[in-house]
Amino acid sequence: MTLFHKSLKDVEVKQTRIRLVKLAADVLSNLSVLASPELVAETVRRGQWTQLFPDLEGYWLGEHHCEQRPDYWRVEEIATGYVFYHYFQNENEKGKLHQQDFSINFYRNEEDYAYVQHPRSILQWLGNDKLSKDDVTYPHFVFGGGEKPTKIAFESFMMDVSWFRPMQLTRAKDDWMPPTEKGMEVTNDFEAYSYTFYLGLEAITPDFISVKDENGKSYRVSVSEHEELRNCTLNDAIGVITWGDKRYIAFDHLMLYLPIEE
């Protein structure tokens, strides 16, 4: 209903009963896609949504950031989107920062959606299970400042969660120095979910897909055992994920993760 009212407000032409039905159908269609990571990936592949890659890398200051109590973000662009690292200081914790990181993709259809995942969603990914609705949220976003945005606003939309709230971030000046460079201790609150993703697509043939890891070792995956792999292209995020002592061949765009048996 929130999206329907917003869409209705944004429409400039006079509404008829038929137009209202069409608008409601479009809203429900978007919601059904957003509710499934697999459908998000397929919809982007078909070009029905546009994934955005603005210049966001660097440091961003939170609304309540100050020198006495830091609250800022570091943004890193990766092959599949962005990682937003949040650094903040709890009250009465001198000289110590907490770090939390979130995977964020930006999409544009008739609306602008950010697709935000909690890092614990890796537990669902690697088990090839559906993502929990508690580990994903879809806020609206607004960029301000031109081709290289200087402001990012995340606005509440649907599936609101406690771990990622509406906020506005402002790009830090080029000479801004984060507290981490002044010797502050950093504790990663999500250390248990940390992993590395090495992009290592080697070859695509009619029979198999070859992937190599960071050490140059190659792995082959039979296409006949996973029919969805027939749609893979050289532009897809394919490689090896290492999580703790476990490793997986990752077809990230398909949400398919195959354990490597050493």
Q: What angle do CA 70, 75, 76 make, to 5 degrees?
A: 145
Token pair for residue 19?
Answer: 């137009």
CA distance 52 to 147: 12
- Mind giving me the DSSP string for 152-212? EEEEEEES-BTTB--EEEEEPPTT---GGGGT-EEEETTGGG--EEEE-EEEE-SSEEEEE
- Mind giving me the DSSP string for 82-115? EEEEEEE--TT-TTEEEEEEEEEEEEESSSEEEE
With b for 16 or more beta-carbon neighbours within 10 A and e for fewer, the 174-212 pattern comes to eeeeebeeeeeeeeeebeebebebebbbeebeeebbebb
* Spatial CA neighbour of 214 closest among 202, 206, 231: 202
- pTM tops 0.95, yes or no: no
Of how many residues is the chain composed? 262
Please give the span between the terminal C-alpha atoms of the chain, in angstroms, as a whole number.
50
pLDDT of residue 134: 82
pLDDT of residue 3: 56
Is the per-residue pLDDT at 31 higher than 70? no
CB 93 within 8 A of CB 113: no
Average pLDDT of span 7-34:
63
Average pLDDT of span 224-244:
89
User: Residue 258 phi/psi, 5° resolution?
Assistant: -110, 120
What are 114-134's pLDDT values in tens digits? 989 899 988 887 876 776 778
Q: What is the DSSP letter of 33?
A: H
Is the per-residue pLDDT at 77 higher than 60? yes
Angstrom CA distances, 84 to 34, 68, 81, 187, 190, stand at 20, 22, 10, 16, 13
SS3 of the chain: helix, strand, coil, percent, to 5: 25, 40, 35
Average pLDDT of span 35-52:
63
pLDDT of residue 30: 64
Minimum mean pLDDT range among 81-85, 129-133, 196-200: 129-133
Distance of CA 1 to the CA centre of its chain: 24
How large a percentage of the chain has pLDDT more than 90? Answer: 46
pLDDT of residue 19: 65
Is the per-residue pLDDT at 12 higher than 60? no
